Amino acid sequence: MTEIRQTTQNLLRRNTELILLNRINRVLTSSSNVQQIQKRVLEEVVQVLDVTGASLWMASKAGDGLVCTQSLDRTGRPFPDAALAPWVLFTERVFKHRQTLLSSNEMNREEAPTSNDSGEFFQVRSLMGVPIQFKDAVLGVLLLVDEAPKRFQQTDLDILELIAASAAITFENARLYRAGQELAALQERSRLANSLHDAINQSLFSAGLIAEVLPRLIERDPVQASQSVQDLRKLLREAVADLREVLAEMQPQRLDNARFDELLCRLADKYAERTGASVALNIDRETNFDADVQEGLYRLCREAFTNIAKHAEATQVWVELVHSHDGVELVIRDNGHGFDMRPTVAGHFGLTMMQQQAATIGATLSIASKIGHGAEVRVYAPEPG
């Protein structure tokens, strides 16, 4: 019982962290007011990670350093300029090295203590800085400070890096908006919101239902509670994996700088690692497409693997990439449950979106399935230019 309670507490914390990410991503994709977005993000981070304060440092327009655009202590007040000054060198190191940095007990003890606007004094003993990066450019730094020698957990680092990745996309969209590309920015923001919502909403909703009944279930039926804990762990793992995949997909340079056959292999490896299923690959030769076509095909393949993982419960998947005289054919088959292909059956919205995506890049898509006999996705794309 003690082990179940401890596991339950850990999973409930993980569930809270994932809900935080979902909430922050909704904020990031629902407004064009950058200052409002920055403040909301800092409020959530300070509350959930229980630190003294947080701040956002963005590269100046002149390109000669970093400027603190938003700061917040745990009381909701901004830090005065005198409090921000000792953190400049640390944030510049994070910006320069393009990686998350930690510092604990490294502040000069002879420095005058920092004060906030309420007149309270404290000495910062812990710093954690996370770069906010979009493509090859570092836009700024997300900085956390604490008055105690705080030991940040790996989960804290993971959450902050995911938040920073989402924030980078939002800030870049805002830049495009300010540059006059209003329509393009709004369409992209809507697409990002839909992608984030679709990726984790279902898993988090189910996890939340289990988390609500677990305390009562532990007292009444420990055996069933143990099974529910396993179900909760699986749902949260799926939500984390989905969110990471969506954020990785939002970095176009990762697609542009790799051949399509390499990207396909990576998707297959991730699916096998996540589900434990066997994946058989048959790729006849190296392949690369124009950037737009390659990104579209990648999204189609990712959606196919996601559907198999969530719905098919397949133990075997076959992937073929074969060249013909005038094009390339991609086939993804599985031995899962299959589904009813009749148009009158609800729940085929994802398939419609895949058809639209294929048409956008000039490819043809066919999907065949029968209940109890798996499914097959077949994509035909013109020969790479």
CATH number for the domain that contains residue 156: 3.30.450.40
CB 174 within 8 A of CB 32: yes
Q: Assess if residue 168 is contained within a domain.
A: yes
Q: Assess if residue 33 is contained within a domain.
A: yes
Whether residues 174 and 290 fall in one domain: no
Whether residues 178 and 302 fall in one domain: no
What pTM was computed for the model?
0.45
**Could you tell me where the DSSP H helices lie in 120-221?**
154-178, 182-220
Tokens 């013109």 correspond to what residue?
382
Q: Assess if residue 209 is contained within a domain.
A: no
* Count of other CB atoms within 10 angstroms of residue 81: 9
Q: Assess if residue 306 is contained within a domain.
A: yes
Q: Assess if residue 236 is contained within a domain.
A: no
Whether residues 263 and 189 fall in one domain: no
* Nearest alpha-carbon partner for 251 in 157, 355, 137, 330: 137
Of the residues 193, 210, 231, the one at which a domain ends: 193
Q: Assess if residue 330 is contained within a domain.
A: yes
Whether residues 51 and 169 fall in one domain: yes
pLDDT of residue 152: 74
pLDDT of residue 177: 62
How far apart, in whole angstroms, are the C-alpha atoms of residue 142 and residue 131?
6
Q: Assess if residue 44 is contained within a domain.
A: yes
pLDDT of residue 206: 72
Per-block average pLDDT, block size 10, for the chain (385 residues)?
A: 70 66 64 74 82 90 82 90 89 91 60 48 78 86 87 76 80 67 54 59 71 81 83 76 64 64 87 87 85 84 85 91 86 91 56 79 90 92 72
Whether residues 345 and 268 fall in one domain: yes
pLDDT of residue 183: 53
Whether residues 158 and 267 fall in one domain: no
Total domains, the chain? 2
Whether residues 165 and 265 fall in one domain: no
Of the residues 168, 193, 218, the one at which a domain ends: 193
CATH number for the domain that contains residue 276: 3.30.565.10
User: Range of 162's domain?
Assistant: 2-193
* Nearest alpha-carbon partner for 202 in 55, 22, 385, 360: 22
**Six-digit token pair at 236?**
């949260």
pLDDT of residue 187: 56
Of the residues 148, 168, 193, the one at which a domain ends: 193
Whether residues 165 and 284 fall in one domain: no
pLDDT of residue 194: 59
